[in-house]
Amino acid sequence: MRYFIRFSYDGSHFNGFQRLNKLVSVQKSLEDALTIINKFPVFIKGAGRTDVGVHANGQCAHFDLNVSVPVERLILAINSIVRPYINILECRIVSFDFHARFSVKKKKYVYKIWVGDYDPKRYDYYLFYNKRIDVEKLKECASLFVGKHDFHNFVAGTRDNYDMEIESIEVEEKKNEINIIFVGKSFYRYMVRNLVGAMLDYNENKCELDLLKKMINDKTFNHQLSCVLANGLYLEEIFYK
């Protein structure tokens, strides 16, 4: 039987999502728990990977079990093992043609910036930023990235194709906090962190809009701007419809 789960986790306690030998990861923690419940090895397929320090409020995965377990009991059983840093929010039975990664329609990421007084308790969950932020400049920069572009200057590692379409980028201002919200079908490694870094570089007058335009419009032009820390990044939601 194939199960779908939606779950949250505190990325500061894991070496990323993906299983990595004996290191503590979100995937390994869930697989270990499910193997105990199933009494046979269980392997999960996530909707996407998150790097070390990145959090999730709505990560998703699927897995197959040899035994049939009511979803309410399964949620309780998994949570009794994986808490306190992982929490199963939803579980349901799905058809065998469902795939947590390949069935994704779009994803939402949020990057959180703290502009208030320093608070060590918030360090793992925000980018602390002690410079003035011009929200209109962030929005101006964000508008360049919306749409389909070649993002090779904003991605870590080598790929065959760097084209990707960003559906929307919103800048939300709260008291002492700025959230930058990205929605798109997929995001490549370090992409959101590099885009936020570019937006903050533009905010600090370290680059001009013409440079940013060239970075996404000229496939032969290579240039690197800032990459922000992982601790402010959240995989917020996965959409399947």
Model pTM score: 0.95
Q: Which range of residues forms the domain containing residue 17?
A: 2-94
Task: Please give the pLDDT value at position 38.
Answer: 96
- Indicate whether 123 and 234 sit together in one domain: yes
Active site residue 134: no
Residue 201 CB contacts under 8 Å (≥ 6 apart), including other chains = 207, 225, 226
13 in any annotated domain: yes
Two tokens, residue 129: 């930023």
- Indicate whether 150 and 170 sit together in one domain: yes
Phi and psi, residue 96, nearest 5°: -70, -10
47 in any annotated domain: yes
Task: Please give the pLDDT value at position 21.
Answer: 81
For residue 108, give the 3-state DSSP assignment: strand
**pLDDT tens-place values along the chain, 241 residues long:** 999 999 999 999 999 999 988 899 999 999 999 999 999 999 999 999 999 999 999 999 999 999 999 999 999 999 999 999 999 999 999 999 999 999 999 999 999 999 999 999 999 999 999 999 999 999 999 999 999 999 999 999 889 999 999 999 999 999 999 999 999 998 999 999 999 999 999 999 999 999 999 999 999 999 999 999 999 999 999 999 8
For residue 135, give the 3-state DSSP assignment: helix
Full DSSP string of 65-95:
-SS---HHHHHHHHHHHHTTTEEEEEEEEE-
Task: Please give the pLDDT value at position 33.
Answer: 98
- Indicate whether 197 and 229 sit together in one domain: yes
- Indicate whether 83 and 111 sit together in one domain: no
- Indicate whether 125 and 53 sit together in one domain: no
- Indicate whether 84 and 145 sit together in one domain: no
The total number of structural domains in the chain stands at: 2
- Active-site choice (10, 32, 51, 124): 51
Task: Please give the pLDDT value at position 22.
Answer: 83
Q: Where are the beta strands (DSSP E) in the chain?
A: 2-9, 45-46, 55-64, 86-94, 106-114, 127-128, 147-150, 163-174, 177-184, 233-239
